Amino acid sequence: MAQRTATIGSKVGLHARPAATFVKAATEAGIPVQISKAGGDPVNAASILGIMTLGAKFGDEVTLTAEGEGAEKVLDDLADLLAQDLDAK
């Protein structure tokens, strides 16, 4: 199982627009991806409700995990996306 750690770069955290942008990318990845905050249970990265319930704020570290063909690249891309201020786009 591939794993990446990312720091949330959006000033508003993973809420509203940044969450929707991330969920769209995770859905388009074509493999199941999970995301979790330290000490929390992993949630489906393609679930907007799951992402919103994480409560991930600016500067929080999250862990992404995935299994399947291309998982390493998918996680690299998603971690890079999370590091950006997605609400500024």
Tens of pLDDT, residues 28-78: 999 999 999 988 999 999 999 999 999 999 999 999 999 999 999 999 999
Instruction: Tell me which of 3, 4, 13, 15 is the catalytic residue.
Output: 15
Mean pLDDT across 4-18: 94
Domain holding 17, by residue range, is 2-82
Split into its structural domains, the chain has a count of: 1
What CA–CA distance (Å, rounded) separates 75 from 78?
Answer: 5
Confirm whether 55 is domain-assigned: yes
Confirm whether 89 is domain-assigned: no
CB 22 within 8 A of CB 85: no
Confirm whether 87 is domain-assigned: no
Confidence of residue 88 (pLDDT cuts 50, 70, 90): confident
pLDDT at residue number 89: 57
Residue of 64, 76, 54 whose CA lies nearest to 1: 64
From the number of C-beta atoms within 10 Å of its C-beta (0-12, 13-18, 19+), residue 16 rates as: middle
Is 88 known to be catalytic? no
Chain center to CA of 74: 11
Write the CATH number for 9. Answer: 3.30.1340.10
